[in-house]
Structure 1
């Protein structure tokens, strides 16, 4: 669990985060959504320690990261997995070597043990035959899965995903969403996903935090969104007339009042 308490962050005279409070739960996909400039990226960077908030607390399982020693913070970061927007694989390394990279940096395992571990997580993301290929030889969806494998190879307690479906077709995006959710539940990870993909929101959004102009405007589950009366949230998610109509139909279905039932 990650708790954010009254976090504020400014750059010069411009305030980016206004007193943000939220709880990211373990074993669930916690999604941060919002328009560009809403503060979601700055909030995420504060959570992983890249930015220091001007005010507030960020607690990892009850421990305030902002009060940790350098050694404690280093140990915490070894418990954090990162899936970057562009996968961020090393072009000169094979898939297997990319996944072994965190093990080389932070573990005392032998080469044989590191290689075995890398291939175990490759199998978990359904890429057991890609270990000797280079990033240029695999598809975008496969690169994302390699990125996920590398992110979980150290058995993290926390997983941060930055736009995991960026650049992917809808079918592949759905596969990545399901994989992230499966791994989150299987390993009881506190997963934080920053996304613009509304399919992801509706598919895996156990907890959703909608940011607007640096404030947490709304929070709830993907089911709560259907019945939300928050005007700003609805304008963001159901921007088109088609989606507005889809929301109305879904609300009727949930109430057992679908037009199909009235025929």
Structure 2
């Protein structure tokens, strides 16, 4: 679990995050959503330590990351996997060598053990046959899967993904969402995704934090978002007539469930 406690971040006179508290839950796909300038990217960078917070705390399983020594922070970072927006693969390295890179930097064991671990990860993302290929020889969706394999090669407890579906077609995007969700459940990872993709929100959002002008405007699941009465959230998520119609259809489907009818009565 990652917990943000009253974090504040600004640049000069401009305050990006005035006071944000949120929890990223273990074993769930946690999404940070919001329009451009809402503070979601700064929030994620603060969480991984790329930007120091001005005030507040960031707790990793109860440990105060903001007040750790550099040695302690390094230990935490070795438990973090990162999937970058553009995959960030090394063009001069093969797929296998790209996935091997974190093991060469931080891993222990023999070359044989490391290579076996790389092949395990590539097999998990269904890219074992592409091990000897270079990034220029594979598709955008395959590059994302290589990025995922590299992100999980060190068995991370925490996985951060920055716009994992950026530049992908809808069908490939769904496959990437499904893969990330499967890995989150399989390894009980605390997964945090910064996204604009509404398919990701509706299909993978176990826990969603909606940011508006640097503040947490709404928090809940992809099922709860369907019945949200927050106007700012609804204007952002269901911006088109098509999406508003889809929302009404999903509401009707979910209202057939006795559990949801009971929950709505309580709310």
Secondary structure in 1 aligned to 2:37? coil
CA contact (8 A) 1:46 1:52 kept: yes
Q: How does 1:7-86 map to 2 (within 5 A)?
A: 7-86=7-86
Q: How does 1:13-162 map to 2 (within 5 A)?
A: 13-162=13-162
- The offset of 1:247, in angstroms, is 1.1
- The offset of 1:51, in angstroms, is 0.8
Distance 1:163 1:196 in 2: 7
CA contact (8 A) 1:210 1:217 kept: yes
- The offset of 1:249, in angstroms, is 2.1
Q: Which residue of 2 aligns with 1:220?
A: 220
TM-score (norm 2): 0.95
- The offset of 1:3, in angstroms, is 0.3
- The offset of 1:66, in angstroms, is 0.9
Q: Which residue of 1 aligns with 2:177?
A: 177
Distance 1:118 1:142 in 2: 16
Distance 1:62 1:256 in 2: 40
The gaps in structure 2 that reach 5 residues or longer are 258-267
- The offset of 1:242, in angstroms, is 1.4
Of stretches 247-256 and 73-82 in structure 1, the one that deviates more from structure 2 is: 247-256
Distance 1:246 1:49 in 2: 38
What is the root-mean-square deviation of aligned Cα atoms in Å? 1.0
Secondary structure in 2 aligned to 1:209? strand
Q: Which residue of 2 aligns with 1:242?
A: 242
Query: Number of residues paired by the alignment?
Result: 257
Runs of 4+, deviation exceeding 2 Å: 252-257
CA contact (8 A) 1:9 1:53 kept: yes
CA contact (8 A) 1:16 1:214 kept: yes
Secondary structure in 2 aligned to 1:91? coil
Q: Which residue of 1 aligns with 2:265?
A: none
Q: Which residue of 2 aligns with 1:261?
A: none
Cα offsets for 1:107-165 (capped at 9, x unmatched) = 12211111111011000111110100000000000000000000000000000000000
Distance 1:250 1:155 in 2: 36
Q: Which residue of 2 aligns with 1:260?
A: none
Say yes or no: does 1:167 pair with 2:161: no
Distance 2:180 2:233 in 1: 24
Distance 1:204 1:252 in 2: 20
- The offset of 1:245, in angstroms, is 1.6
CA contact (8 A) 1:96 1:132 kept: yes
